[in-house]
Structure 1
Amino acid sequence: MKKVSLFLLTLLLISGNLFAQAVDNGVPMADKLREDGKIWVVVAVIAAIFAGIAINMLRIDSKVSKIEKELNIK
């Protein structure tokens, strides 16, 4: 029990140092993209990739459903 308490105390002290560090909220690259208006290009590319993956998943699901019907798998 003593070892567990000592271990937990050590973890608590280590994590205390992490909270004491300064947090820098500004991300220079994102700020620059927002200023130039290019952030919308990034959003559009991510949306296109997501839409492509979703459409591909739906097509695969319909193909698998068709094969299941042919083989009478439930």
Structure 2
Amino acid sequence: MKTVTRTRTILASPEAVRAAMLDTEPFTNSAGFDEVSVDDRTIRVANSVGIAEINLVLEVVDDPDAVIAYE
């Protein structure tokens, strides 16, 4: 399976960033998907690409090294 990692610097405290990330729906929506819905530990995202629509169902997983991780 391929993975994607994105890094960016945020001028805020680590606690503020963690709190924003744990508010899963707005955090995921900020990535620019056309549609986002969150139901407990399931995240559904959709994006239109030309004539196609991509739909992903992501499951949040426990990862002690991450604030949020999903597969």
- For the criterion TM > 0.5, the same-fold answer is no
Question: TM-score, normalized by length of structure 2?
Answer: 0.23
Structure in which a larger fraction of residues adopt helix: 1
Larger radius of gyration, structure 1 or 2? Answer: 1
Structure in which a larger fraction of residues adopt strand: 2
Higher relative CO (Cα under 8 Å, sequence separation at least 6) belongs to 2
